[in-house]
Every structure is written in structure tokens, then in C-alpha cells.
């Protein structure tokens, strides 16, 4: 059962125009899952196959009449279209159906608004809301309030403007708000950049978990690090990035970062708004591209993630494809490539092998060494501890025996003492 995002679940019909650009039925199934996450129950859907959308109402007159009849028959209170609508289309569709009408982007923004926990997450949501709202001020009617959850600025100002101020004044208000939000997020991005530089200077290696929404990224983070991150069977359960320390089999400690999930056809302006969250993935030393192997869309999940990251500028870091939820399938491949791992984050199957592959794919910054350090050179152990890790230590007659992960900056100093 999905948690309600509002006090009362809404009843909705789903609608789409299939122009042949993508699999409309598969996309509608995903839209239904998005609706569930937002506390909305879908009671049916309508698809019209045509070469292009009607500029005024998306649907042709016959299908629009059919949609109106379905709304009445199912007593629906909402219609959700599986593609972005213009202000004119929103206004005309609401008038024709006599119920609230929203589109896929509005639905995603509604979910984002309820899942943002950090101040940065809320700023990002409000920025995306404001950018969406600006060209649609004239058309948004019954569902303007849906765009007020990201922080109050854009939605609240728009609602006041719709009833009390001139349209152009309202537009100026939102443009000013967009500028302030962009400046605030740029400032936060600069601070994160400084933290990344410090991590790099301190020799901290980062591994980012990326992938489609609801494929088990947060569950994987919890399984590997006991992070206690919200992990639920719903889309966009994680919006704010979470970082935890992870120790690898070779003794190295890396920073493991969970990121916001992605969906097919995520509008570019939404990706731009969440750039500061996703940029943690852009600068990682290794990407774990997680997919749900039990899903018939597993291959597309991997491709969608890779394409969005490429659009954002990623592409230099190695990628390890992680096939999660293997507990839900009957047959498990016996052999996998070096850049692929199959796991179940829920049961723990394959996690040791995953950690081994992470170790192998990361550029070595340290080397495990058995050393016998003479007592008169004991200060070297302090250097080893500063940039590496002493795993075991024993005081012998002729020196200190240690098993240690030695940073490459120190290896040349201790090589002569290797046992």
C-alpha cells in the first residue's frame, strides 16, 4: 500500500496521444505508478493514436468527447495526461471535462514537493515549479495549488497573481523568484564544489549510485552501509543525496552516494533544476548504474540513466552495471562481465562480489603491504595512518610488524621494509 501524499486519495483517468515516438502503453503504466506514489488511484486510461497532438486540446474532438464520458462514468475528479500540456491545452481540457487536468510534469513536481527534505531539495523543487509555471500562467486554473509545495514562493505568488494582480506583474514576480532561486542553488553548488575539492585533496574516493527510480538504490545503500535511508516501494522515495562511508575488501574506505532516481522522458528543465543533486554523480570516481533485473524494461532503465548522465556531462568515470532484485527472477546468469554484477539488495545475494568488482574498477590509490618497520623509523607508521590504514600491528623484537593499506604517496618510503 502506498502512503497517501494527501489526506484523501483522488480518482483519476489517464490519457495520452500516441504519435509513435515511444511506447505509449509502457509509459502509461509508469504514469500509473507515479500517480500511486502521489496518492492517486487510476481507474482507466484513454489513448489516441494520431500523427500529432491537437494544439488546442491534444485530443481530437471525438476522443475528447469519449474522455468526458469516461470522467462522468467513473466519477473521476482528475485527468492526468502523459505528456506536457500548454497553458491553452490545460484551460480547454479542464473546460471540456469539467474536472481538474494535470500533466506528467505537474505530477512529478507534486511528488518531488512532498519528498524534498533538505533546504536544497526544496529550492530545487520550487525552481522546477517556477520554470514550469511561467509560460502557463494564463492556462492553469484548478490545479495551480499543486505547484505551491516546493517552498511557497512560486505557487503562493502565482495564486495571488491569478486573482489580484495583472498577468505581466505576476510573470515578473516569478522571473525574479527564478533568478533568486538560481543564485541560491549556484551558491550551494559552489559550496559542494569546495567540499568535493577537499575530498579529492584528502584522497577520498567517491562511488555514486545512479539509476531509474524505484530499482532499489536506497535499499542497496542501506545494505552496504547501514545508512538507515528511506527505502520504500514507491517512485522518487529519495530526492536528496545521501553519503555514507563504505569499506571495500581491499581495506580502502570510499564514500558511497545515493542520488535521485530517474524516469523515462524526464523533461530537460527538470533535469536542469536537479543538476546540483545529480552533479555528485558527475564527479564520482565510479558509477553504479542500478536497474531492476526483474522488470521487462531493465535494458531501457540502464539506457535512460546513461543518456541523462551523458546529457549532464558525465562520461569519464567507469560504470558498473548492477542488476538488482534477482530474488524476483528464476534463473541467474552463471557468468557476468567485469563491469556487471547481479545482486539482491534485500537478501544480500551477490553483495560480496559487488564489493570485489568495485575494488577492481576503482583506480588503486593504496596498496596493501606487510611491513617490518624498525623502531628507529617508527614515525613512518604515523604517515601510513594519515593517508592509509593500519589493519594489524604487532611489536616484534627487531621492529613493528604491520599489515597496512599504504597510500601511493608513501609507498616509496616504506618499500625497503616490505616483509
User: Average of pLDDT values for 57-67?
Assistant: 93
Same domain, 86 and 25: yes
Which residues are CB-contacts of 198 (< 8 A; sequence separation ≥ 6)? none
Domain at 396, CATH number:
3.30.70
Domain at 51, CATH number:
3.40.50.11060
Domain edge (last residue) among 155, 187, 219 = 187
User: Average of pLDDT values for 154-169?
Assistant: 51
Q: Identify whether 1 is part of a domain.
A: no
pLDDT over 50 (residue 3): no
Taken in order 109, 110, 112, 116, the sign of the CA dihedral is: positive
Same domain, 178 and 229: no
The dihedrals phi and psi of 207, each to the nearest 5 degrees, come to -125, 120
Higher pLDDT, 15 or 309: 15
User: Average of pLDDT values for 167-194?
Assistant: 85
Bridge-based pairing of strands 78-81 and 205-211 is: unpaired
Same domain, 342 and 386: no
Q: How many other C-beta atoms can be found within 10 angstroms of the C-beta atom of residue 288? A: 28
Which residues are CB-contacts of 412 (< 8 A; sequence separation ≥ 6)? none
For residue 395, the model assigns a pLDDT of 93
Q: Identify whether 2 is part of a domain.
A: no
Provide the CB-side half-sphere exposure for 152 (13 A, CA): 1
pLDDT over 70 (residue 223): yes
User: Average of pLDDT values for 248-273?
Assistant: 77
Domain edge (last residue) among 62, 85, 108 = 108
Q: Identify whether 271 is part of a domain.
A: yes
Bridge-based pairing of strands 389-396 and 399-407 is: antiparallel
Same domain, 155 and 296: no
Rg over CA atoms, the chain = 26
pLDDT band at 240 (very low <50, low <70, confident <90, very high): low
Domain edge (last residue) among 56, 84, 108 = 108
State the residue range of the domain holding 411.
366-417
Same domain, 319 and 343: yes
Do residues 39 and 107 lie in contact, with contact meaning Cβ atoms separated by under 8 Å?
A: no
Helix axes 87-97 and 61-74, enclosed angle (nearest 10): 50
Same domain, 279 and 292: yes
Q: Identify whether 209 is part of a domain.
A: yes
Q: Which of 418, 350, 389, 413 is nearest to 245 (CA)?
A: 389
Higher pLDDT, 311 or 87: 87
Q: Identify whether 380 is part of a domain.
A: yes
pLDDT over 80 (residue 207): yes
Q: How many other C-beta atoms can be found within 10 angstroms of the C-beta atom of residue 187? A: 10
Higher pLDDT, 9 or 207: 207
Same domain, 69 and 133: no
pLDDT band at 292 (very low <50, low <70, confident <90, very high): very high
pLDDT over 90 (residue 354): yes
User: Average of pLDDT values for 104-115?
Assistant: 84
Higher pLDDT, 1 or 127: 127
For residue 233, the model assigns a pLDDT of 54
Q: Identify whether 193 is part of a domain.
A: no
pLDDT band at 227 (very low <50, low <70, confident <90, very high): low
Same domain, 133 and 147: yes
Same domain, 25 and 155: no
Q: Identify whether 404 is part of a domain.
A: yes
Domain at 233, CATH number:
3.40.50.300
pLDDT over 70 (residue 349): yes
Same domain, 172 and 235: no
Same domain, 353 and 378: no
Summarize pLDDT for 364-377 with one digit per residue, the tens.
777 889 999 999 99
Same domain, 37 and 124: no
Q: Identify whether 145 is part of a domain.
A: yes
pLDDT over 50 (residue 38): yes
pLDDT over 80 (residue 85): yes
The domain tally of the chain equals 4
Rounded Cα distance between 17 and 6, Å, is 28
Amino acid at each position: 500500500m502506498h502512503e497517501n501524499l494527501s489526506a484523501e486519495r483522488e480518482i483519476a483517468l489517464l490519457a495520452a496521444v500516441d504519435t509513435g515516438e515511444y511506447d505509449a502503453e509502457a509509459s502509461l503504466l509508469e504514469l500509473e505508478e507515479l500517480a500511486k506514489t502521489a496518492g492517486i488511484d487510476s481507474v482507466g486510461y484513454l489513448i489516441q493514436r494520431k500523427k500529432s497532438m491537437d494544439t488546442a486540446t491534444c485530443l481530437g474532438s471525438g476522443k475528447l468527447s469519449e474522455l468526458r464520458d469516461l470522467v462522468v462514468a467513473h466519477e473521476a475528479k482528475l485527468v492526468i495526461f502523459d505528456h506536457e500540456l500548454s497553458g491553452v491545452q490545460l484551460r480547454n481540457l479542464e473546460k471540456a471535462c469539467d474536472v481538474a487536468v494535470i500533466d506528467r510534469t505537474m505530477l512529478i513536481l507534486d511528488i518531488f514537493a512532498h519528498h524534498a527534505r533538505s533546504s536544497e531539495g526544496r529550492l530545487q523543487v520550487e525552481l522546477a515549479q517556477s520554470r514550469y509555471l511561467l509560460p502557463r500562467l494564463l492556462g492553469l486554473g484548478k490545479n495551480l495549488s499543486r505547484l505551491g509545495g516546493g517552498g511557497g514562493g512560486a505557487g503562493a505568488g502565482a495564486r495571488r497573481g491569478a486573482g489580484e494582480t495583472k498577468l505581466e506583474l505576476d510573470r515578473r514576480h516569478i522571473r525574479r523568484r527564478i533568478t533568486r532561486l538560481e543564485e541560491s542553488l549556484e551558491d550551494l553548488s559552489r559550496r559542494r564544489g569546495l567540499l568535493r575539492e577537499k575530498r579529492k585533496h584528502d584522497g577520498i574516493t567517491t562511488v555514486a549510485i545512479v539509476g531509474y527510480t524505484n530499482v532499489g538504490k536506497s535499499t542497496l545503500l542501506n545494505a552496504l552501509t547501514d545508512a538507515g535511508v528511506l527505502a520504500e516501494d514507491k517512485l522518487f522515495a529519495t530526492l536528496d543525496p545521501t553519503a555514507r562511508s563504505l569499506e571495500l575488501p581491499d581495506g580502502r574506505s570510499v564514500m558511497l552516494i545515493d542520488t535521485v532516481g530517474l524516469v523515462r522522458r524526464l523533461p530537460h528543465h527538470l533535469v536542469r533544476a536537479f543538476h546540483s543533486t545529480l552533479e555528485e554523480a558527475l564527479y564520482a570516481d565510479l558509477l553504479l548504474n542500478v536497474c531492476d533485473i526483474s522488470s521487462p524494461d531493465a535494458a531501457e532503465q540502464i539506457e535512460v540513466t546513461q543518456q541523462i548522465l551523458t546529457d549532464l556531462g558525465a562520461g569519464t568515470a567507469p560504470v558498473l552495471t548492477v542488476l538488482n532484485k534477482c530474488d524476483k527472477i528464476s534463473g541467474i546468469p552463471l557468468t557476468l562481465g567485469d563491469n556487471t554484477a547481479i545482486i539482491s539488495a534485500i537478501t544480500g545475494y551477490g553483495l560480496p562480489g559487488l564489493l570485489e568488482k568495485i575494488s577492481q574498477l576503482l583506480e588503486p590509490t593504496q596498496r596493501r603491504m606487510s611491513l617490518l618497520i624498525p623502531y628507529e623509523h617508527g614515525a613512518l607508521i604515523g604517515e601510513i595512518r594519515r593517508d592509509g590504514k593500519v589493519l594489524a600491528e604487532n611489536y616484534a623484537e627487531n621492529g613493528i610488524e604491520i599489515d597496512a593499506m599504504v597510500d601511493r604517496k608513501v609507498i616509496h618510503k616504506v618499500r625497503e621494509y616490505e616483509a
